[in-house]
Amino acid sequence: MLVALWGTFNRYSDAKLDGYIDLIGHTILPAIAQEDWEAAASAFAQLSDDWNSYKRIATFFFDRALVNEADFSIARTKHFIQAKDVSNSTGELGFLTQKFAFFHTHDSFHPANIF
């Protein structure tokens, strides 16, 4: 049963995390580079809203500290975009992209992730 639940979450999680990484790389970062702050804010709001739904499930499978780090990064990025700060926005989005990629290594089924 545990393996089946973890496998289902793993597929769901991979799709979500890949979607966040694609949204950042193909939509949000290019909008910031062009200083199209409305498009960047809109796309980032979509990511943030979806993340808030996803993390309710992810907290059962990931270390809470990892989820909190992503939450803090999302909050910082939101404020950097609102401040129209190109440098800090892109830097924080780079960190967030790496954090989402890091989640992939922690959602696989092995004893270290169970205990």
Domain boundaries along the sequence of the chain: 2-114
Cα separation, 72 vs 67, in Å, equals 9
- Model pTM above 0.95: no
For residues 23, 25, 28, 31, the Cα torsion angle rounded to the nearest 10 degrees is -140
The DSSP call for residue 35 is T
Cα 3 to Cα 46: distance, rounded to the nearest angstrom: 31
CATH topology of domain 2-114: Four Helix Bundle (Hemerythrin (Met), subunit A) (1.20.120)
d(CA 67, CA 81): 21
Question: pLDDT 10s per residue in the chain (115 long)?
Answer: 555 666 677 788 888 999 999 999 999 999 999 999 999 999 999 999 999 999 988 887 777 888 899 999 999 999 999 999 999 999 999 999 999 998 877 655 545 555 5
